[in-house]
Every structure is written in structure tokens, then in C-alpha cells.
Chain A
Amino acid sequence: MAFTWFQKNEEVKEGGQEKSTGFFNRLKKGLSKTRKVLSTDINDLFAGNRKIDDELLEELEELLITSDMGVRTTMDLIESISKKSSEISGADQLKKALKENILALLNSEKPCPQKITTGPLVIMVIGVNGVGKTTTIGKLAAKFVASGEKVIIAAADTFRAAAVEQLAIWAQRAGVEIVKHKDMSDPAAVAYDGIQAALARGADVVLVDTAGRLHTKKNLMEELKKIKRAISKKLPEAPHEILLVLDATTGQNALSQAELFNDALDVTGIALTKLDGTAKGGIVVSICSTLEIPLKYIGIGEKIEDLQEFDSVRFVNALL
């Protein structure tokens, strides 16, 4: 059966709960009736209490690699497992050990969120083209509104055709205000105005959308830095959060994205989108561990409620 990391609008149980495979399986089955068999089910791997031998390790390797975990991380995980193989008697224990290892990689030291002394919380959203920045902003806006915050969105993607119109529809859906300029105008100026408007109107949160760009384009990365500086100019502590949006469908290149965006802007958090597909987004494991950037949100669909706060235990339980 299909194996997906996350199911939308459904409580996926945490902790040891997945051991009662009955429940978990039923849940997965119920939700994946339209999904084809696309990948190995990890439970098959551990069925019938198999011995830990080369064959099993190879299957495990396949499972980890096909989740986009990357060669290096996969090798490291398998090595540490096979080192412990004398202590591990059965498949259940192997699974547990693997989970612990991945959890350790995911739970990197989180940098303390910056204290907000004055003005609104400012979140600047960045990433390559088409990963889901605008959609994530729409979802985030709705989330903040639901917890009673006043939100302003700044439409600093002035480049892509109809990007502002797209964001305006999201603002309307979330019921929040939007600050926008003409197409092709200076994105830094839009961001600046967004902060100014938030200060004037007493907003609690400002979400700054930016144009998608490839992380290898030097001049476009400079433009992002300029937007960031414009924000700080109006509000010295801001932006409090630089949220990098990554697409779960992306393979090893996501690491390069994270590295270069982080070099340029000091990313404070990651949102991983499109986990409602069959891609597993395993590359975030190496990103979180090597760059020590926490994964904060996951996107699981195109509707406004399809954003969840990231929970590493649940993530790993869904993986294994």
C-alpha cells in the first residue's frame, strides 16, 4: 500500500501508538484508497521478524534513498545500525533504533526565537520558483488570524506575472490586509511600506512574500538582502523570521538551496511543502542536521488549512 508521510485533516497518532499496527494501518488504508502502490512499505520490510542481514540492510538502504534522504545520510544511518546489530535482535528494535537516529538528526539545537520588544512579528518568506511561498503565506495568515492576530501581507514579489493578484486572493481568503505596489516596482520598497503600514495600523504580524529565485543567481540573492535591509531599516529587530520554503519533491538540490539561502540571509526556519504527494522530503533530515535550521511547518495540500506545525516525532513515525 502507498506510504505517505502525512495525511491531511486527520489526527495521526504519535509516540508508541503506531505499534498497534491495526489502528495505523486502518488509518493509512482509509486515507490512501485513491493512492497507488508506489513505494515499499516499511512494515513489509520488518514483517515476520527478519534477521538483520545484508539483504535487509540493502532494502533499508533503498527505502532511505528513495525517500531522498541522500547517500551520505543513508550510509551513516545504516552504518550506525549495523554497528549495533549485535544488540539488535529483531526488526522492531531495528526500527526503533533507526527512528532514534533520525530524530536525533532532526532535533538540532534550535536558535532561540528573537525577542520582539516593539512592533509586529515580521516573517520574510523566501525560496526558489514554484515551491509554494505564496500559498504558504496564505495559509500562515489564516493561522495567525485564527489565533486572534492582526496580519498584514506585503506583496514583494513584484516580478512574476500576476504574483500580486495571486497573493491578493490569498489575503482575501484569510481576511487580512495586503500592501502592494505596481508590477516590477522595487520589492524592498514594498517590504518597507508593509512594515510601516503594520506599525501605523497596529498589526501583530507582517508576512513578506518574495519572488522565487534560484539560489545560484548572485544578483537576485543580493536583491533579497536588500529587502531584508529595508525591513530592518524600518524595524531594527526585524525580520524576526526568515522562512525558507522547500518543495518535498526536490531531491538533493534542496541542500544546495538551503546552504546558499542560509549563507545569504541566515535562514531561521524551514517550511516543507507538498507532502501530500508521494515525495517524502527526506533531504530535510540532512538540512536540519548540517545547517541546524529547524523545520517549522509542513504543507499538505492546496487548501488554506493544509499547513501544520512540524512535529519531528510524528514525522519520523510516518516515515518508518
Chain B
Amino acid sequence: MGVIMFDNLSDRLDAVFKKLKGHGKLTEKNIEEGLKEVRMALLEADVHYKVVKKFVADIKERALGQEVMESLTPGQQVIKIVDQELTELMGGRLENLNLSGSHPASIMLVGLQGSGKTTTAGKLAVYLRKQGRKPYLVPADIYRPAAIDQLNKLGDQLGVPVFPSNPEIDPVKICQQARTTAHRELCDTLLIDTAGRLHIDEELMTELCRIKDAVKPSDILLVADAMTGQDAVNIAESFNNTLNIGGVILTKMDGDARGGAALSIKSVTDKPIKFIGVGEKLSDLEPFHPDRMSSRILGMGDVLTMIEKAQTIVDEKKAVELEKRLRKNEFTLEDFRDQMVQIRKMGSISELINMIPGMGKIKQLKNLEVDENEFIKIEAIINSMTPQERHQHTLIKGSRRKRIAKGSGTSVQDINNLLKNYTQVVKMMKKINKGGMRELGQGMLPF
């Protein structure tokens, strides 16, 4: 698989329009060339064929407008339009769980086998508890071996009560009984973990309807894997037609899937994506951000997510401070060192890079092994600098380099490398500040 496959859309569009430069004003045909690249990017991201077709047709008019035709950077303009429209399509209002109606409230989790329903039930329990509610876990998967055990264990871990299901009871009965016992357990919100099923399995789809009729849930959430391919439209359509779902949770977003299924699902159901799952821990549930999803689908990654992830680990104030400084292009060697320390806390750099969709695939980065010793070296080097040097790296010339190398037990070569990396980071930061994420081309991550 060539690298081209994963080049980000921004680069590809630039390439298209660069080719056409010198031919004077852009023509309609030129723009169509560019839209072809948009189409490819969306298809590679797993957006459904028909959804892509419609989307590209819809944005064509805007792309043919003056803002693109007369722009010096038509590629960037097209990206801007695509990004805006995608964000709009997936966005609308940010919607929370629906907990209205009968008491106790019930939330039904439905979806294919292996999409992550049980883990998501545990995560929602954590989320609801944080909101001051009293969740009650209801295992209604009587089919998959040990599915009930799994939810019981999660409940134990969390200290959240679990309805004592067993595989002999009909799932509808389980849910009905759970409503009564929830009262006794002083719980106000049922989280019903249904069995995974194929959307074409009529018998099991009917079972879901029966559960719905019996408990009248306030929300029904389709749990779908972010890695889902073209079939996402069929799955979402069937579940929505059968149950009139209230929203969607996209799981396994911590991988490197571009997540085009999000757009497919949204466009066939018109139901909001309410949360995303970003890890195996029960706290790894986040609200859905349409703008980030858009950059991700377009293969342009998202620095914001990285900054945010850093924030949850790093002390918040410091991160805000850092972000401000980044914006003002005041990123010093000290900040660089702090970042290294933080990154080490956050896990390997390659993992971080993998948060940027597409980046993980770039050959130069793929085999990038992070050497713990490298971190230790960097820290030692920066620690051996004077405060002035740390704030103004241009001071560090030949003799100073020798001194620092000696002080940190490294070589001048190491100092040179570090400074090179650092200036690249600064350059990248400047680019981001100037043009937003889309300025960040391939191979820019200089670690």
C-alpha cells in the first residue's frame, strides 16, 4: 500500500491545484478534479458510497463559488468548505442522554455482536453516577456465553448494583423485573445491556421491540464500532427503522480508524452521535465533537484532542498556560522538556501519533520506536542548560553546546539533534497557529 493512499486530503488537493497553476483562472473542470480527491478521501475513510455521492454533489455548488475559484489557495478553500459541511452534517445540537419520562428511566443499548455494548454500559454507569444519578445495570444478553458474568464483574468493580439475571429468563422478563428491583435498590436509571445481534435477524430484532414495549425506555442507543465499513448504513437503518433509536455511541475511537461510519450513520438515521468510546477503561467515554470527527474523517488528525488528552493528565492550569503560549509562539526549550515529561506520562509517542489518523500509517513514522533513554537524554540536556539558554535557544552556539554535552553526559551531536527537533516543533506550532490543523502536512511531527 503506497503512502499516497494515506496522504492527507489537504496535501492531495494542493497537489491537484498546483498542477493547474499557470493555466490562469481555475475552471469548473479544475474544481471537479479537486472534488474527485474529496470523494476518494471520504471513500477511504469508509463513508458509504451513496452518502459520498450525495455529499460531493451537495458541496459542488459551494466549491464552484468565488471563494474557491478566485483564491490563491484553492486547496485550502475546498478543505474549508468540506470541513464546514461535514461538521454541520454530523453536528447540530450537542445532545445528551434522554432521561425523561417514566420513573425509573431506562436506557437500552443495542447493536451488532462485538460492538462494545457491555463495556459501554459500564462506562455510562460511571458517567451517570458523576451526574448524580443512581445507575442500575441490567444484563439482558442471555445468549453469548458469560455475557451476564461480564456485566456482573463490571458492576462489582464499580460498586454499581446489577440485576441478578440468568440465561434461563426471557430478556423481556429480565427487563420488566429489573424495573421493580431498581426501586428496591434505590436506583433511578436502568442501563439495559442487550445481546449483540445481526440487523437482519428478524427474531432477535423482534425481541428488541418487545423489550422496548415493555420498558418504554427514555433513550435507545445504537452502539457501533468506529471501524465499521460500508455496511454501517444497513446496520443503522435497520436498527433505526425497527426501534426508532435516540442516538448513537461510537466505540473504539482510540484506534486509527478514520471513522467514516459516523457520517454514514448520521446521514441515514439523522440521529445524534452522543458519545464516543476512547479506551478500555470505564472512564474512557467522551462527548462527541463533530468538528474533530470531520478532521479525522478527512485524515487530518486533530491537535485539539491531543492537547485535551494532555490536559487530563497534566495539571489543567499548566496546559491552558501552555496552549496560550503556543498560540503566541512562545514555546521554549523548557516547555519542550515539560512536554516530553508529560508525553512519557501519557504513554509512548507512537501511541500519541496514532491518535492522529493517517499519521500512524506514514512509513517514516510507523516504525518509530520510542526509546526511553532518548527521553532521559533530552531531559538531562535541557537540565544542563542555563535558564537563559532555555528561553532563547539561539544563544546555544558551539562552545555552549560543548559545555552542555559535558554537563549532561551526552555528545554535541545529541545537542544538535535536540535543537533541530525543537526548532521543528516550534515551526510546526507556528504553522498550526497560522493555519489551523490543516497546515500540518505529512511528516511534520518531528519527534
Q: Which residues of A contact B (CB under 8 A)?
A: 2, 34-36, 38-39, 62, 65-68, 70-72, 128-132, 159-163, 165-166, 168-170, 214-219, 247, 249-256, 259, 263, 274, 276-280, 283, 286, 290, 302
Contact = CB atoms under 8 A, between A and B. Distances in A.
B165 interface: no
B35 to A, nearest CB: 15
B1 A131 contact: no
A290 B1 CA distance: 7
B302 interface: no
7 contacts: A67-B230, A68-B46, A129-B252, A132-B114, A165-B145, A214-B255, A274-B112
Contacts of B113: 130, 132, 274, 302
Nearest to B256: A216
Given A216-B351, A247-B225, 7 more contacts: A132-B114, A162-B146, A249-B229, A252-B258, A274-B112, A277-B231, A286-B1
Contacts of B149: 161-162, 165-166
Contact of B230 (A68, A247, A256): A68
Nearest to A71: B43
B46 A253 contact: yes
A277 B199 contact: yes
A312 to B, nearest CB: 21
A66 B360 contact: no
Contacts of B143: 302
Contact of B112 (A2, A38, A161, A277): A277
A65 B49 contact: yes
Top 9 A-B residue pairs of the complex, sorted by shortest distance between their CB atoms: A251-B229, A130-B114, A251-B46, A169-B145, A162-B149, A166-B146, A161-B153, A165-B146, A162-B150
Interface in B23-45: 40, 43-45
A192 B46 CA distance: 40
B257 A253 contact: yes
B153 A162 contact: yes
A250 B348 contact: no
Report which residue of A247, A255, A259 has the largest number of chain B beta carbons within 10 angstroms of its beta carbon: A247
B200 interface: yes
A130 B225 contact: yes
A249 B144 contact: no
B261 interface: yes
B92 to A, nearest CB: 25
A35 B252 contact: no
A67 B366 CA distance: 28
Contacts of A165: 145-146, 149-150
A214 B254 contact: yes
B331 to A, nearest CB: 26
B115 A130 contact: yes
A250 B145 contact: no
Given A132-B114, A166-B144, A278 B348 contact: no
Contacts of A169: 145-146
Contacts of B228: 249-251
Interface in B354-385: 354, 360-361, 366, 370
A249 B44 contact: no
Report which residue of B46, B48, B347 has the largest number of chain A beta carbons within 10 angstroms of its beta carbon: B46
A253 B255 contact: yes
A283 B229 contact: yes
A165 B148 CA distance: 10
Given A217-B351, A250-B229, A129 B145 contact: no
Given A71-B44, A72-B5, A218-B350, A250 B146 contact: no
Report which residue of B49, B50, B114, B144 has the largest number of chain A beta carbons within 10 angstroms of its beta carbon: B114
Interface string B246-269: 000000101111101100000000
B43 A255 contact: no
B280 A72 contact: no
B208 to A, nearest CB: 15
A216 B255 contact: yes
B270 interface: no
Report which residue of B154, B200, B350 has the largest number of chain A beta carbons within 10 angstroms of its beta carbon: B200
A36 B45 CA distance: 26
B352 to A, nearest CB: 10
Given A62-B49, A128-B252, A162-B150, A249 B145 contact: no
A35 B200 CA distance: 6
Report which residue of B144, B230, B232 has the largest number of chain A beta carbons within 10 angstroms of its beta carbon: B230
Given A71-B43, A256-B256, A250 B153 contact: no
A302 B141 CA distance: 14
Nearest to A213: B280
B234 A129 contact: no
A161 to B, nearest CB: 4
Contacts of A254: 227, 229
Nearest to B116: A130
